[in-house]
Amino acid sequence: MELAFKSIHELQELIKNGDISQKELWQYFIERNHTYNKEIWAFTSIGLRDFVESDGELMGIPLGIKDLFCEKNIPTTGCSKMLENFIPPYSATVIERLEKTGMNSLGKLNMDEFAMGSSGENSAFWATKNPYGTDRIPGGSSSGSAAAVAAGLCPAALGTDTGGSLRQPASMCGVVGFRPGYGRNSRFWVMPMASSFDCPGTITYTVQDAALLYNIMNGEDPLENTTLPGKDIIDPKIWKTPDLKWKKVGIPKEYFEEGLEEWVKTTINTAIEKLKELWAEVVEVSLPMTKYAIASYYIIVPAEVSTNLARLDGIRYGHNSSSERNGLEELYLNNRGEWLWDEPTRRSILGSYVLSAGFYDAYYKKASQVRTLIIQDFEKAFEQVDILACPVSPSVAWKIGDKVDDPLKLYLEDAYTIPASLAGLPGMSIPCGFAQSEDSEKETLPVWLQLIGPRMWEQKVFEIAGVYERATNWRKQMIPEKFKV
Residues 356 and 233 in one domain: no
Beta carbons within 8 Å of 314's beta carbon, 6+ residues apart: 82, 320, 321, 331, 332, 335, 336
pLDDT at 463 > cutoff 90: yes
Q: How far is CA 392 from the centre of its chain?
A: 12
CA distance 115 to 117: 6
Name beta bridge partners: 202.
158, 178
Q: Which of 6, 66, 129, 460 is catalytic?
A: 66
Residues 388 and 333 in one domain: no
Which pLDDT band, with edges at 50, 70 and 90, does 114 fall under? very high
What is the per-residue burial (b if ≥16 Cβ within 10 Å, else e) of 267-276?
bbeebbebbe
Which pLDDT band, with edges at 50, 70 and 90, does 471 fall under? very high
Is 133 contained in some domain?
yes
pLDDT at 111 > cutoff 70: yes
Residues 82 and 131 in one domain: yes
Which of residues 314, 342, 372 is at a domain's end? 372
- Spatial contact of 191 and 309, defined as CB atoms under 8 Å apart: no
pLDDT at 126 > cutoff 90: yes
pLDDT at 397 > cutoff 80: yes
- Summarize pLDDT for 227-241 with one digit per residue, the tens: 999 999 999 999 999
Which of residues 372, 404, 420 is at a domain's end? 372
Q: Could you give the C-alpha distances from 418 to 122, 167, 297, 305, in angstroms and in order?
A: 19, 10, 7, 16
Is 268 contained in some domain?
yes
Residues 385 and 434 in one domain: yes
What pLDDT sits at residue 301?
A: 97
Lowest mean pLDDT across 24-38, 102-116, 142-156, 396-410 = 396-410
CA distance 195 to 407: 22
CA distance 327 to 466: 59
Which pLDDT band, with edges at 50, 70 and 90, does 438 fall under? confident
What are the percentages of helix, strand and coil residues in the chain, rounded to 5?
Answer: 40, 15, 45
Higher per-residue pLDDT: 302 or 258: 302
Sheet order of strands, 199-204 included: 43-46, 104-109, 62-66, 157-161, 199-204, 176-179, 427-437, 440-452, 387-391, 248-252, 281-285
Higher per-residue pLDDT: 199 or 435: 199
Peptide bond into 141 cis (omega under 30): yes
> Which phi and psi (to 5°) does residue 24 adopt?
-65, -40
Phi/psi zone of residue 41: left (φ > 0), alpha (ψ -120 to 50 degrees), beta? left
What pLDDT sits at residue 439?
A: 74
Is 263 contained in some domain?
yes
Residues 178 and 250 in one domain: yes
Residues 179 and 278 in one domain: yes
Name beta bridge partners: 63.
105
What pLDDT sits at residue 379?
A: 98
- Summarize pLDDT for 324-343 with one digit per residue, the tens: 777 777 877 887 878 788 99
CA distance 12 to 461: 24
Average pLDDT (376-389) is 98
| 8-state DSSP, 293 | H
pLDDT at 286 > cutoff 70: yes
Angle, alpha carbons 346-450-177 (nearest 5°): 70
Name the average pLDDT for the chain.
Answer: 94
The CATH number assigned to the domain holding 238 equals 3.90.1300.10
Which pLDDT band, with edges at 50, 70 and 90, does 178 fall under? very high
Share of the chain above pLDDT 90, in %: 85
pLDDT at 441 > cutoff 70: no
Average pLDDT (352-370) is 94
Residue 433 carries which side chain, given as an amino acid letter?
G
Q: Which of 165, 186, 296, 437 is catalytic?
A: 165
- Spatial contact of 196 and 301, defined as CB atoms under 8 Å apart: no
CA distance 477 to 5: 11
For 86, the 3-state DSSP assignment is: coil
CA distance 44 to 15: 28
Residues 32 and 89 in one domain: yes
Is 407 contained in some domain?
yes
Residues 325 and 193 in one domain: no
Q: At what angle do helices 342-355 and 293-308 cross, to 10 degrees?
A: 100
Tally the domains of the chain: 2
**Structural domain boundaries, residue 304:** 290-372
- Spatial contact of 43 and 107, defined as CB atoms under 8 Å apart: yes
Is 1 contained in some domain?
no
Is 2 contained in some domain?
no
Residues 199 and 144 in one domain: yes
CA distance 465 to 469: 6
Is 61 contained in some domain?
yes
Average pLDDT (96-100) is 98
Residues 35 and 124 in one domain: yes
- Name the strand (E) or helix (H) holding 9: helix 8-16
- Spatial contact of 146 and 203, defined as CB atoms under 8 Å apart: yes
pLDDT at 363 > cutoff 80: yes
Q: Which of 7, 118, 119, 141 is catalytic?
A: 141
Beta carbons within 8 Å of 25's beta carbon, 6+ residues apart: 3, 11, 14, 15, 60, 61, 62
CA distance 163 to 139: 12
Q: How far is CA 200 from the centre of its chain?
A: 8
- Summarize pLDDT for 250-278 with one digit per residue, the tens: 999 999 998 899 999 999 999 999 999 99
Q: Is 377 exposed, middle or buried (0-12, 13-18, 19+ CB in 10 A)?
A: buried
Average pLDDT (157-181) is 97
- Spatial contact of 209 and 234, defined as CB atoms under 8 Å apart: no
- Spatial contact of 290 and 259, defined as CB atoms under 8 Å apart: no
Report the candidate in 190, 279, 202 with the shortest Cα–Cα distance to residue 227.
Answer: 190
Name beta bridge partners: 158.
65, 202
CA distance 180 to 80: 26
Residues 97 and 238 in one domain: yes
Which of residues 372, 401, 425 is at a domain's end? 372
Q: Is 141 a catalytic residue?
A: yes
Residues 312 and 445 in one domain: no
- Spatial contact of 343 and 351, defined as CB atoms under 8 Å apart: no
Share of the chain above pLDDT 70, in %: 99
